[in-house]
Amino acid sequence: MAAIKVTNLSKYWYQTKAVDGISFQVNKGEVFGFLGPNGAGKTTTIKILVGLTKPTNGDARVAGYDVIDDIRLVKQRIGVVPERSNLYDELTVTQNLRFVSKLYHVSAHGREEIIQELLDLFQLTEYKEKKFAKLSKGLKRRVVLAAALVHGPEILFLDEPTSGLDIMSARRLREIISDLSKHGVTIFLTTHYIEEADLLCDRIALLVKGKIIKIDTPEGLKKSLHNTPILKVRFQGEFDNAFLDSIQGETVSLLDGELSILSKDIHASLESLLRVAEEQNISLQNIETIKPTLEDAFLQLTGVSLDSMQVEKEGKL
């Protein structure tokens, strides 16, 4: 039995299609990533699957139960880490975990033991009497994750779990997520950090404008570019971006002053680049070819511009 099964799921907000007839299945114990830019429908899909909103059309089953008819049974079997760390500022870490355990009807008999185990697991014991408001962002995320696990869920929904965290905190959280997966917890992860999806996910669904463009393993997505090398070029000095249109290639994009050219005919692209650079008197600093990354695959498959992803990252970080 699949941990999550979604069939022709749609959600309209008035006339806008937030989710547009998507279908997918998540296997038990799998880390499944939902990757896409803001507004792609990631959070709306999660909201439907966890019972926060109802779909306009289609079916969704989580842990074998229908998300409309059996939502209570679904909620008992899932843990959710929302994008915002939404525990209670005025309560301590322990009080927050105790409160959530009561909401999920964890037996009073073993409650304190479970809380202590989670505090140990997430290295939160020294902060257990600290108010949630006083914790750093990284610690808050750990507490929120601990709270999502207090009732031992089969499936964990993580909505942008490392958003806004520093590198070390994000890395620690990824290690925890990876460990949870090894212990058999099914993980449904939404992120717009492509590297994160590459590191954590067994399979990834690429979502753009409410539609799933492709579902595959990270390696499978990279292979979809037929192992075409990517040409990376750095320039010296300023130049007019308009010259990019003159370069031959399937995908030509500029990010942080670095030009990426994905092309089936890399030689023709290189020739056109050198010709245009010479015509417009643009100095090249460095040229190299690299193997395609998941980011390249994402850009090629979705058509989303690197710039828009970068704006999104900057906005979040």
Partner 1 sequence: MRLAEELEGVWAILEKDLKAYYFKPPNISWGILFPIVLALSFSLRNPEGLIDLAPGLIAMAALFGTTSMEAIVITFEKRVGALERLQLAPINSASIIIGKLLGGTVFGLIISSVMTFITIVFLGAEILNPFAFILVLLLTNVVHSALGALVAVSVKEVFEAQTLSNYFRFPMIFLCGVFLPLDEMPQAFRFLGRLLPLTYSVDAFRGLMVEPRAIFIDLLVLIGFCLFLPYLSVVKFSRNQE
Rounded to a whole number of angstroms, the minimum distance from the CB of residue 168 to partner 1 is 25
- Alpha-carbon distance of 38 to 46, in angstroms, equals 14
Q: Does residue 7 bind partner 1 (CB under 8 A)?
A: no
Of the candidates 25, 32, 101, 30, the residue with the CA atom closest to the CA atom of residue 64: 25
Query: Is residue 54 near partner 1 by the rule CB under 8 A?
Result: yes
In the chain, the amino acid numbered 10 is: S
Q: How many residues lie near partner 1 (CB under 8 A)?
A: 25
CA 41 to chain CA centroid, nearest Å = 12
How far apart, in whole angstroms, are the C-alpha atoms of residue 72 and residue 77? 9
68 binds partner 1 (CB under 8 A): no
3-state SS, one letter per residue, for the chain: CCCEEEEEEEEEECCEEEEEEEEEEECCCCEEEEECCCCCCHHHHHHHHCCCCCCCEEEEEECCEECCCCHHHHHHHEEEECCCCCCCCCCEHHHHHHHHHHHCCCCHHHHHHHHHHHHHHCCCHHHCCCEHHHCCHHHHHHHHHHHHCCCCCCEEEEECCCCCCCHHHHHHHHHHHHHHHHCCCEEEEEECCHHHHHHHCCEEEEEECCEEEEEECHHHHHHCCCCCCEEEEEEECCCCHHHHHHCCCCEEEEECCEEEEECCCHHHHHHHHHHHHHHCCCEEEEEEEECCCHHHHHHHHHCCCHHHHHHHHHHHC
Nearest approach, Cβ of residue 36 and partner 1 (Å): 21
Measured from the CB atom, the residue of 150 and 170 that comes closer to partner 1 is 150
Q: Is 109 in the site for partner 1 (CB under 8 A)?
A: no
In the bound complex, what is the minimum distance in angstroms from residue 159's beta carbon to partner 1?
Answer: 11
Residue 88 touches partner 1, criterion: CB under 8 A: yes
Q: Which of 15, 90, 237, 240 binds partner 1 (CB under 8 A)?
A: 90
Of the candidate residues 95, 125, 251, 305, the single one contacting partner 1 (CB under 8 A): 95
Q: Which stretch binds partner 1 (CB under 8 A): 37-45, 85-93, 246-254, 290-298?
A: 85-93
Choose between 78 and 225: whose C-beta lies nearer to partner 1.
Answer: 78
Q: Does 51 participate in binding partner 1 (rule CB under 8 A)?
A: yes
Residue from 8, 27, 52, 66 binding partner 1 (CB under 8 A):
52
Hey, how many other C-beta atoms are within 10 angstroms of the C-beta on 12?
14
Measured from the CB atom, is 82 or 292 closer to partner 1?
82
The reply to whether 249 sits near partner 1 by the rule CB under 8 A is no
| Interaction of residue 218 with partner 1, rule CB under 8 A | no
Which residue in the set 9, 18, 50, 262 belongs to the binding site for partner 1 (CB under 8 A)? 50
Q: Is residue 84 involved in binding partner 1 (CB under 8 A)?
A: yes
Whichever of 87 and 304 has its CB closer to partner 1, that residue is 87
Binding partner 1 (rule: CB under 8 A), the pick from 1, 14, 16, 72 is: 72
Residue 18 beta carbon to partner 1: minimum distance, rounded to whole angstroms:
14
Q: Is 75 in the site for partner 1 (CB under 8 A)?
A: yes
Binding site for partner 1 (CB under 8 A): 50-54, 72-73, 75-76, 80, 82, 84, 86-91, 95, 99-100, 102-105
